[in-house]
Amino acid sequence: MTTGEVRELFAYSAWANALVFDTAAALSTEQLGHSVASSFPSIGATLAHVVGAEWVWLRRWLGESPSGFPEWVKSPVLAELRTRLSGVEREREAFVADLSDADLVRVVSYHTLGGQPFWDPLGGLMRHVVNHSTYHRGQVVTQLRQLGFKPPTTDLIVFMRRSS
């Protein structure tokens, strides 16, 4: 993996997150919190998890090991989540801009939220974050359909075609 590929993956993820948040903005507060079975009980909770996880992983790459999600994940408000996500994306973009290809094989030491220590190469962790967000965006797509909304198409190939 190269830093160019990392930048492309995070650009894709930011684009896809924006599409999902744009669609979610059409939902009422009640619909965002409505129970729609998935890994998380609602669209709002799923989006909060995505943003919280992206925040946690960036903190780990910066040498911190949070012991939990931030408080704003517990009572998700869409506008606040979007603002938090924008902040994470800007901070991550600055972090990635300073990386070399050699940095991607650097091992990052961190602790899980449960306190278990791990050591993994930075490039693999970055792939994981994009994959994790993609997985949960897919769940939001299903949740949107269950509420009668037309979800956005967030496939990587759609992003690649629009970028070329």
CATH of domain 3-163: 1.20.120.450
Helical spans, DSSP H, in 25-155: 29-33, 43-61, 78-97, 122-146
| 3 state DSSP class of 164 | coil
Task: Write phi, then psi, for 5 (nearest 5 degrees).
Answer: -65, -40
Look at residues 116, 134, 159 and name the one whose alpha carbon lies nearest to residue 53.
Answer: 134
- Opening angle at CA 146, ends 143 and 150, nearest 5: 85
Per-residue confidence (pLDDT) for residue 164, from 0 to 100: 65
CB atoms within 10 A of CB 82: 18
Amino acid at site 137: R
Per-residue confidence (pLDDT) for residue 148, from 0 to 100: 95
Residue 157 has pLDDT above 90, yes or no: yes
Tell me the average pLDDT across 71-77: 89
pLDDT band at 76 (very low <50, low <70, confident <90, very high): confident
| pTM of the predicted model as reported, rounded to 2 decimal places | 0.95
Angle between helices 43-61 and 3-24 (to 10 degrees): 150
Per-residue confidence (pLDDT) for residue 163, from 0 to 100: 62
Residue 20 has pLDDT above 70, yes or no: yes
Residue 114 has pLDDT above 90, yes or no: yes
DSSP string, 40-55: SSSHHHHHHHHHHHHH
Share of the chain above pLDDT 70, in %: 99
**CA distance linking residue 76 with residue 54, whole number of Å:** 15
Q: CA Rg, the chain, in Å?
A: 16
